[in-house]
Structure 1
């Protein structure tokens, strides 16, 4: 702006500037262009905004002051679903434009734009759905730019309707008018629809016969009768029963072949959740969030939920409705509803109509379905609260495919194939790691197919042709074999526990080195033994094994994982007289197992997960498990939270030093024989392990000079262990890193593998190499 004085008058001439502005992040399909249009118009800017394969591009022209205000508003006032990662500007020559317009999407070139995760129905859409005067009253597919399906319906990018599963639903005139109006909440909302032009519900018997009448009323009546209803949701089919109906829950459990693992429960709102569980502020925020995960919380005594929903479990996994269909269903039934994955145990969730009809016909009595196709099957996410914040146990719907952004550049695209259990894969480019939705355990053809089709979809979606492929060292993992069969790629084998610690590093944007404590079930070690209780000196490019739990036999191999009593025998043999334990009376084959363990003619393991199994069996908590981690979960839940005692865990000197797990198990047995209750003994076991980990980390800090500790691995899903270990290490002056953006279990392995592969690639391509 320039000033010219003439007489007593001052004439101000405003000098216009023009800038090209590029906005990167999750900025397509989230109402970003109409937001930009509104912001620019309000501030008096001229120019245009559009989508392309890189994100959102804007040209603005106005005074420098107003352009600065506009740039600030882009970040501070962005739409609810937008994630603005970077705003870059480039000066242009002013053109004297007089209006601000929205341009059509453009294609061509390598796609770098991000895809939004599916988001829970917003308050505005819910008001419309509940308003008898609104044309979308009672409609199960209401959505706008601030909510609704995204990832599960996207076939390709740019995110436009022809490239989604809504392509088969031409918009009516009214929906088209909303879609084309820049000031409307539904401007370019790709799934926009209404009862005239959009998907429709149907209720059918298990044989496929249509049932007359309102589908929601029929579904609610079926739930009330105790029937199992398959419900087609956002990322696949769920199996639903009334949560208060014991026989219905027991029937579902029997048909699904799911003996003990808890079912998730959907409730109408936070008040309803508080009638079942202890709901704190953080839990309430998670329940209400746009991601709508299943939240694990302590169950209230007398909560009106059938025992068969979560047998023997002190916690419940609750979630709130996240689609209009769910809101309408819980309103129609008016009570908590079990909503568990639509599959047989160990299979991927069904998401295609014909496949669901085939696979679920023997489980469901009826189907509440619709005709909008699901492109990507996506399970519900699961979280629990730790240290005052969320800890992801399963990262899927509501989170994927939004990337984990890291502070390091990937020189070349990376594919990380993940682990065998709780598999996720990841593709990485630039500074983004796109960790996939939850795939499951790669132990059957169906899940492997879900893995391979998922990889291909991510490669298309993010326009990535991986040059570097990272995999686990275990030669029998299907994910490893998949990597080995790829052509024209550079393979990077990443040790399982190094990947765990690298995942924690990437989660925190820290390159290390750190003292990594990796406690999990089993992972293939560099010596071909089965590791799982590891203390590593680790950075992204490598690690050294500094210490570990004392190895013990794994009598029976995989059978010992399913039968924790075998691990108790393995921990107790060879240490003198065996204690008098109930497990020896309950399991007639213990002598044969003891002989096998003493012979040493079996695999050995340093697994922390198997240590928890041994203690659970020794304390009569559980001899056999039906799902991974069951014994450890029950041991944690039984532990007395106020018991201060702790068993001593010797550190055995050697190269490397070892924590004496067998001595810890014997201490548990001796205390129980003296009359200590199971809750007290379980607490002292946890406290003893916390103290031992702390002592070992302090010793390793003194030896290495490294004072940051990273905690990772599935065992650190145990909040009693994780929180007390973190507190003890912090009290001794150590800095502690834990997970927040990916799970500590094997669901986070792919992030770690990608981080390691990228770091090695950077190192190899650096000038000194």
Structure 2
């Protein structure tokens, strides 16, 4: 027999809350190894003794065959000669666990100096638990909070790390003998499943004075009768109603103050999803994944029972599968698609506390299906779509956050990216890793600002990251900028908005060398004091220079022009930056202006001509708004991006050649002048060209313009790698066409996948830029 060897093994990555210690126990036992395993803050530590070949096999399996929810980043191995005293699995301090006495799971150890620590995201119910949920012979039959080591709440219940039951909100629910036996049995699927629960000892449903099945039945009756129910979900309350009931959907829109933004629809299974939308293999896989995001899909023209107002103005519908046992029970009882949307009023944070929910949702909900497990952290549903087989995250929240992402440059100081104003997130970075906080919403008022501060306090506590540097946007009016400037930081690093957009894409792909960045979005403050949004940059993570842009146009009334695309259209008609050719003739614009209020039209024109309250913007997003209004698709909007969504939907899959366009040289930059494009657009309307064809032609035009801007930059010495960022690249058609044309130039083309290309990725980009600058100083 070969000599025994003893090794200390540390496994880093997403290895807590994912069944990793039970997996280690099973594997080590199978290999006849002795020792112990425990959680240490955000990683797992083993001391193992046995045959050297068996030790080698264990390390190989840890690296290559981890549990499905785990993500092993690195495995460190050190030879040791003995084993220190540890606390055993029953919490008896000072007991010896000798390496020759089999393998055991021992109590976790907190090391305050070890940072950053990783917080496991929530995971949707697994197939094994789902089978038990509907098995009349199982003791968890119809138990809404069923879970195991492969599924269930994590980030939403963690109070502290290392991740053990006593440091979660489940500590309020002592295990019954049957659950305790499962928890302690290495052969059981629930061995060390920290959210473990059953009907005897776990959380319970409630509806007023009703409990359990009676509470569930009350909720089902209310929804079936056309009512709206506030359901306590994993990361906050959700508002649920019948997606096939037009009156219920209309009531939800009116009460929630959400007149047009599409609602997400939860469906029972993939078969139902296929009946409502076209679903490819990639979309099927992400729908059924443990993250269970909302997936934006192409709705079928005859989409069956869904009420028309579920997703107005767009041909795409957001579908997702049940996340928890409770969702499955509701869908099984009602047997119809359900709207499941965030439990809040428009622009307010999602409610998590029971009393808070009743205050915020009293005017919305007809009843409350709640339970007695506290929600520790607020997480809304994640949103994704797919493009050419790639899953692109549009909102990174439940299921994905706050799992860390990597940064190409490791900062010498811990830092925070404070984020933007819209679709707000923040990012905590240390040692080359960044924890992107969950989607907060728009920082529009005190409530969302308070939510941001609460989430920041929670995640800094859990990760152990104490930022000494704050990276922030240039815009002084952003609440995130004001927070960074007022905070107790040693240093503040301003990062231009569009540099952050393209840096986020570059950093996600590990890019450190220079690249061409194309940043198309609504608005962001430029370094020249104007508003940017249609920019071509030559950049790396530490800096940039602007080489191309869209022509400037005024925003009549400032913020009012964002809410009223008609004003944006008038701005382009009467105040477009003069670049050598005139804009559309008044006669061409008359059918558009004649349908507007004459008094407001005169007022807007006066503002433009006198340059009063008309900030200038070189924005691709605002050009989308103007074109949507000129085509009669959106005159007033109730949510950011609504006009662009309508324009993309109008174009559909129709292929059309480009409208006329031109690039000119101005102030050392290549500038897209849309004057000829807008003239041709209005001429097409005058001649009776279908709006759908003009919408498609406009998309083709912008794709060709983008390819030409990049081509000129590369011809003048820019690198052959292009990063596409900014909210306009949520537009699948624009992204696809631009990608195709740039690839035809033999360029490498990158865009955001795990990090949203919209403002939800700004904080990650800020962290990437600040980390690179600090690393360069070192």
Residue matched to 1:587:
596
- Aligned with 2:290: secondary structure? coil
Paired residues of 1:419 and 1:746 also in contact (CA < 8 A): yes
Whether the aligned pair in 2 keeps the contact of 1:242 and 1:248 (CA below 8 Å) is yes
Shift of 1:211: 8.0
Number of residue pairs matched by the alignment: 749
Aligned partners of 2:432 and 2:108: how far apart in 1? 25
In structure 1, C-alpha distance between the alignment counterparts of 2:589 and 2:721, rounded to whole Å? 42
Moved more, 581-590 or 140-149: 581-590
Stretches (4+) displaced over 6 A: none
Shift of 1:424: 0.2
* Residue 63 of structure 2 is aligned to residue 80 of structure 1: no
Q: Is the 8 A contact 2:498 2:535 kept in 1?
A: yes
1:498, distance to aligned residue in structure 2 (A): 0.5
Q: Report whether the alignment pairs 1:359 with 2:340.
A: no
Matches of 2:313 and 2:467 in 1, distance apart?
46
Q: Is the 8 A contact 2:654 2:693 kept in 1?
A: no
TM-superposed deviation, 1:115: 1.4
SS in 2 for 1:627: coil
Deviation, structure 1 residue 581: 4.4
Quote the offset at 1:213 in angstroms: 6.2
Contact 2:269 2:321 in 1 (8 A): yes
What TM-score, normalized to structure 2? 0.94
Indicate if the aligned counterparts of 2:422 and 2:443 stay in contact, CA closer than 8 A: yes
Give runs of aligned pairs for residues 330-479 of structure 1, distance below 5 A: 330-479=331-480
Change (3 A) 1:270 1:54: closer
Distance 1:700 1:581 in 2: 38
Aligned to 2:665: 653
Residues 67-216 of structure 1: pairs in structure 2 closer than 5 A: 67-93=55-81, 97-112=100-115, 113-204=117-208, 210=210, 214-216=214-216
Describe the SS at the equivalent of 2:537.
strand
| Partner SS for 1:124 | helix
Alignment of 1:212-231 (within 5 A): 214-231=214-231
Q: 2:776 aligns with which of 759, 763, 767?
A: 763
Q: Which runs of 5+ in 1 are unaligned?
A: 1-12
Query: Is the Cα contact below 8 Å between 1:152 and 1:374 reproduced in 2?
Result: yes
1:129-171 Cα distance to aligned partner (Å, 9 max, x none): 1111111111011111110000011111111122211121111
TM-aligned CA deviation for residue 742 of structure 1 = 0.9
Match of 2:2 among 4, 9, 14: 14
- 1:446 CA displacement: 0.8
- Residues 555 and 597 of structure 1 are in contact (CA less than 8 Å); yes or no, is this contact kept in structure 2? yes
Q: Which one of the candidate residues 624, 635, 642 is aligned to 1:623?
A: 635
2:725 corresponds to 1:712? yes
Partner in structure 2 of residue 267 of structure 1: 267
Question: In the superposition, relative to structure 1, how do residues 630 and 576 fare at CA in structure 2: closer, same or farther (>3 Å)?
Answer: closer
Give the C-alpha shift of residue 100 in structure 1: 2.0
Quickly say closer, same or farther: Cα 1:723–1:14, change in 2 above 3 A: same
Out of 32, 51, 54, the residue aligned to residue 63 of structure 1 is 51
State the partner residue of 1:4.
none
Secondary structure, counterpart of 2:503 in structure 1: helix
Secondary structure at 1:329 match in 2: helix
Q: Helix, strand or coil for the counterpart of 2:415?
A: strand
Counterpart secondary structure, 1:449: helix
Residues 565 and 583 in structure 1, CA contact (< 8 A), matched pair in contact too: no
Q: Is residue 344–residue 360 contact of structure 2 (8 Å, CA) maintained in 1?
A: yes
Equivalence for 1:297? 297
Match in the other structure for 2:693: 680
Q: Distance in 1 between matches of 2:266 and 2:179?
A: 31
- Per-residue deviation at 1:215? 1.7
Q: Could you tell me which residue of structure 1 aligns to residue 757 of structure 2?
A: 744
* 1:41 paired to 2:29: yes
Name the Cα RMSD after superposition.
Answer: 1.5
Deviation at 1:61, TM superposition (A): 2.1
Q: Which segment is superposed worse, 743-752 or 102-111?
A: 102-111
Residue deviations 1:446-475 (CA, integer Å, cap 9, x gap): 100110011111110000111111111100
What is the Cα deviation at residue 27 of structure 1?
Answer: 0.8
Aligned to 1:10: none
**Contact 1:546/1:657 (8 A) holds in 2:** yes
In the alignment, the residues of structure 1 paired with residue 114 and residue 159 of structure 2 have an alpha-carbon distance, to the nearest angstrom, of 14
Q: Residues of 1 paired with 2:114 and 2:364: CA distance?
A: 42
Following the alignment from structure 1 to structure 2, what is the Cα–Cα distance between the partners of residues 488 and 93?
Answer: 44
1:576 Cα shift? 5.8
Deviates more, 1:662-671 or 1:673-682: 662-671
**1:505–1:710 Cα contact (<8 Å) kept:** yes
Question: Pick from 581, 598, 609: which aligns with 2:609?
Answer: 598
Q: Quick check: 1:572–1:666 contact (8 Å CA) kept in 2?
A: no
Partner of 1:244: 244
1:454–1:213: structure 2 CA closer, same or farther, 3 Å change rule?
closer
> 2 CA distance for matches of 1:644 and 1:228?
43
CA contact (8 A) 1:520 1:607 kept: yes
CA contact (8 A) 2:108 2:162 kept: yes
Supply the distance in 2 between the matched residues of 1:301 and 1:106 (Cα, whole angstroms). Answer: 56
C-alpha distance in 2 between matches for 1:449 and 1:626:
24
What is the aligned counterpart of 1:727 among 740, 743, 747? 740
1:94 Cα deviation from its structure 2 partner: 7.2
Instruction: Indicate the residue corresponding to 1:495 in structure 2.
Output: 496
Q: Secondary structure at the match of 1:152?
A: coil
* Per-residue Cα deviation, 1:64-101 (whole angstroms, up to 9, x for no partner): 32222111111222111111110111122378725222
Maintained 8 Å contact 1:216/1:332: no
Asked if the contact 1:17–1:94 (Cα under 8 Å) also holds between the matched residues in 2, the reply is: no
Deviates more, 1:602-611 or 1:73-82: 73-82
Q: 1:316 to 1:705 in 2, by over 3 A?
A: closer
| Equivalent residue number for residue 96 of structure 2 | none
Deviation at 1:310, TM superposition (A): 1.6
- Distance in 2 (alpha carbons) for counterparts of 1:580 and 1:730: 37
CA distance in 2, matches of 1:553, 1:125: 57
Give the structure 1 partner of residue 86 of structure 2.
Answer: none
Residue 580 of structure 1, CA deviation: 3.5
Q: Secondary structure at the residue paired with 1:573?
A: helix
Q: 1:692 to 1:317 in 2, by over 3 A?
A: same
User: What's the CA shift for 1:19?
Assistant: 1.6
For 1:89 and 1:483, locate their aligned partners in 2 and report how far apart those are by CA, in whole Å: 40
The 3-state SS of whatever aligns with 1:422 is: coil
CA distance in 1, matches of 2:56, 2:710: 50
CA contact (8 A) 2:584 2:675 kept: no
Residue 656 of structure 2 contacts residue 693 of structure 2 at CA under 8 Å; is this kept in 1? no
Deviation of residue 511 (structure 1)? 1.6
Alignment check: 8 A CA contact 1:518 1:711 kept: yes
CA distance in 2, matches of 1:620, 1:238: 34
- Write out per-residue CA displacement over residues 299-353 of structure 1, whole angstroms, 9 at most, x where no aligned residue: 1122210112122321111010010110111011111111111111000111110
